[in-house]
Amino acid sequence: MIRILTDSAADLTERELCQPGVAVVPMSVTFADGSTCEDDGTMTKDEFYERLATDAKLPRTSQPSPAAFMQAYADAADAGDEVLVITIAQSLSGTFQCANLAAAEAECPVTIVDSETAAQGESILVREALRLREQGCTVAEIAAQLDILKKRVRIIAVVDSLKHLQKGGRVSAAMALVGGALGIKPVLSLYDSQIRLEDKGRGRPGALVAMYKLLEKMGGIDPDYGYTLLYSDDRQLAAPVHHYMHNNLHLTGGRVGQLGATIGTHVGPRVVGLAFVLAEE
């Protein structure tokens, strides 16, 4: 069997985690008081955001260790499985490198795909890998298809500020300064392993309009893959985006995904956005 392994940045749903042959290697979060929690559901996402709001300092995230990947590969080898690993973009984390280091010692075949994205962008690739596995594709065939599909995966989002991303070293101080004007909400994108400041709007309504215009400029959503509404701590903030998808774009069947601790540490509270696959030209 092909075992599909990813990291906890993918924020897989309970349903996805229950699929046969799916496993997650958790990242970890270290808080200001030195306590560390693995991003494995022990602390709920809502509990994490409550802690994020009260702690004076930003938590630190850590990639899974090579040893954690070695254990996951050993479990697969014991079951007679080969492994397909889908990791968070290596520009954002050392997870890809750790997965490769461990693969050199694995006793089963391991193929590793850099998703070039994160969060529900990763989960799009996991779902596609599951679909291709069901069709009887080999690991090499699945990896080749994911390398093509990932170039069309997009995340766009409105964030309250760029301070969390800047403190975590994910965006430059210059970019954070641009997005930090009073009342201005930045609109970001993530694709091809890069976080980009695409636009900004005055207040949340203005930023949402800018995000919708960005979606149109990018070329729209491929309905065959659906879309995922993203939010961090406040699900109600996704309601206007849901309304726009249904009433303006006439797209149904969207998923809703809450960003977990790994990504939430860096984007902060009151985030709302979309993960989707670009419509083919």
pTM: 0.92
| CA 117 – CA 91 distance, rounded (Å) | 9
Give 81's contacts (C-beta < 8 A, 6+ positions apart).
1, 2, 3, 21, 108
Least confident piece of the model among 34-43, 147-156, 169-178, 229-238: 169-178
Question: Which residues touch 275 (CB under 8 Å, ≥6 apart)?
Answer: 117, 119, 120, 121, 123, 124, 153, 154, 155, 227, 228, 230, 257
Please tell me the CATH code under which domain 152-277 is placed: 3.30.1180.10
* Across 82-86, 97-101, 138-142, 265-269, least confident range: 265-269
Please give the mean pLDDT across all residues of the chain: 91
Reading the block at residue 37, the tokens are 């929690």
- Per-residue pLDDT tens over the stretch 124-162: 999 999 999 999 999 999 999 999 999 999 999 999 877
Residues 33-85 pLDDT 10s: 899 988 888 889 999 999 998 888 888 899 999 999 999 999 999 999 999 99
**Contact at 8 Å (CB) between 87 and 114?**
yes
Q: How many residues does the chain have?
A: 281
Which backbone phi and psi does 43 adopt, to 5 degrees? -100, 125
HSE-CB of 34 using CA atoms within 13 angstroms: 0
The string of pLDDT tens digits covering residues 7-29 is: 999 999 888 999 999 999 999 99
What integer pLDDT is reported at residue 176 of this predicted model? Answer: 57
Residue 40's pLDDT is what?
Answer: 84
- Range(s) of the chain covered by CATH 3.30.1180.10: 152-277
Q: What is the pLDDT of residue 224?
A: 93
pLDDT at res. 160 = 85
Q: Which amino acid is at 116?
A: E
User: What does the pLDDT read at residue 209?
Assistant: 97
b/e map 64-81, b = 16+ CB within 10 Å: bebebbbebbeebbeeeb
pLDDT grade for 175, boundaries at 50, 70 and 90: low
Where, residue-wise, is CATH 3.40.50.10170 in the chain? 2-151
Q: How far apart are CA 192 and CA 162, in angstroms?
A: 20
- The dotted CATH code for 2-151 is 3.40.50.10170
